[in-house]
Amino acid sequence: MTAGAMNEIRVGIAGCAGRMGRMLLRQTVGHGRCVVVGGSEREDSDTIGRDLGELAGIGSLGLAVGRDPGPVFEAADVVLDFTSPAATACHAGLAAATGAALVAGTTGLDGEQEKAIGDASAKTAIVRAANMSVGVNLLLALTRRVAATLGPDFDIEVLEMHHRHKVDAPSGTALALGRAAASGRGVDHDDMADRGRDGISGERRRGAIGYAALRGGNVAGEHAVIFAADDERVELVHKATDREIFARGALAAAVWLRGKPPGLYSMADVLDLRA
């Protein structure tokens, strides 16, 4: 084996036929340190058996889309997962069983599914993030800092917009921003979250963290955290125009995971934004 091959990071992609999966395929093939070793899809997908490269529009890779994710985890150093909550929880178990690291970007997980990821992280290294982009993770850090600096006279609202196909609301990133604000304020997020207003909703609860979700078109993702007081307003905004930024972040996480001990990590760890 050559030195170059020894330094390569073998990447598998769960949900390889989805919008993010195809983007991850293209980005991995063009990456200097990562190589694709497999991809999987749900059992009823009409892409089973197709060549991964042809699926992503980059020419043949000699690797077929599989219905069983097990071999992908066995072949990979790290698996990138942007699938569904149930699938991600299952994949976390496979990562723990095979020792493959996992980069999980799926949103909308419930408590039991999050627990499955936490349990798996006792046996392998997992990066879990609602959003993999560098800009959004900087926004999370800024949100925490601004919330800690501005007093309770500033109401906090989180606004997000995504494409018409997104199935969960508020987005995982919006909820992460709300939790960052709650952390900065030193309050319990779930106690303060107001996730929907309709009809005569009454006066705004002091200290609440409000959410609003918009859906339409092909918007990759837009988020704003609004701090509103009498006579002034501070807004922190991030706009994504292409999913490529999420794929780049996921691959940065894959590279960072090499050699890391078992544990549950975040993009703040990958980007050294903990301070």
Of the listed 31, 115, 123, 162, which one is catalytic?
Answer: 162
Supply the CATH classification number for the domain 3-128+243-270. Answer: 3.40.50.720
Query: What confidence score (pLDDT) does residue 1 get?
Result: 44
Q: What is the pLDDT at residue 275?
A: 56
Cα distances from 142 to residues 145, 155, 196, 208, in angstroms, run: 5, 16, 24, 19
pLDDT at 259 over 60: yes
Partners of residue 52 on adjacent β-strands: none
273: confidence class by pLDDT, cuts 50, 70, 90: confident
Whether residue 225 contacts residue 177, with contact meaning beta carbons closer than 8 Å, is answered with yes
Note the residue count of the chain: 275
Residue 2 has pLDDT above 50, yes or no: no
Mean pLDDT, rounded, for 21-47:
94
166 is catalytic: yes
User: What is the band of 6 on the pLDDT scale with cuts at 50, 70, 90?
Assistant: low
The answer to whether residues 263 and 116 touch, using CB atoms and an 8 Å cutoff, is no
Q: What is the pLDDT of residues 139-175, one digit of tens each?
A: 999 999 999 999 899 999 999 999 999 988 999 899 9
Identify the pLDDT of residue 130: 82
Q: Is 162 a catalytic residue?
A: yes
Hunting for tokens 């760890």 — which residue is that?
269
Question: If you average pLDDT over residues 73-98, what whole number do you get?
Answer: 97
CA–CA separation, 265 and 255 (whole Å): 13
Domain 134-240: which CATH class?
alpha beta
Query: What average pLDDT is seen over the chain?
Result: 94
Which residue among 166, 238, 239, 260 is the active-site one?
Answer: 166
DSSP for residue 261: P
Q: 3-class DSSP state for residue 166?
A: coil
Which pTM value belongs to this model?
A: 0.79
3-128+243-270 against 134-240: fold identical: no
Burial string for 86-117 (b: 16+ CB within 10 Å, else e) reads ebbbbbbebbbebebbbbbbbbbbeeebbebb
CA gyration radius for the chain? 20
Q: Please tell me the distance from the alpha carbon of residue 260 to that of residue 106, in angstroms, as a whole number.
A: 21
Distance, CA of 206 to CA of 185 (rounded, Å) = 13
* 236 contacts: CB under 8 Å, gap ≥ 6: 139, 142, 143, 146, 224, 225
pLDDT in tens, 99-145: 999 999 998 899 999 999 999 999 999 999 988 998 999 999 999 99
- State the pLDDT confidence band at 79, using cuts at 50, 70 and 90: very high
Question: Alpha-carbon distance 170 to 272, whole Å?
Answer: 27
Question: Which amino acid does the sequence have at 37?
Answer: V
For the chain, the helix, strand and coil percentages under 3-state DSSP, each to the nearest 5: 35, 25, 40
> pLDDT of 206-224, one tens digit each?
999 999 999 999 999 999 9
**Could you tell me the residue ranges of all domains in the chain?**
3-128+243-270, 134-240
Pairing status of strand 155-162 against strand 221-229: antiparallel
Indicate if the pLDDT at residue 201 is higher than 90: no
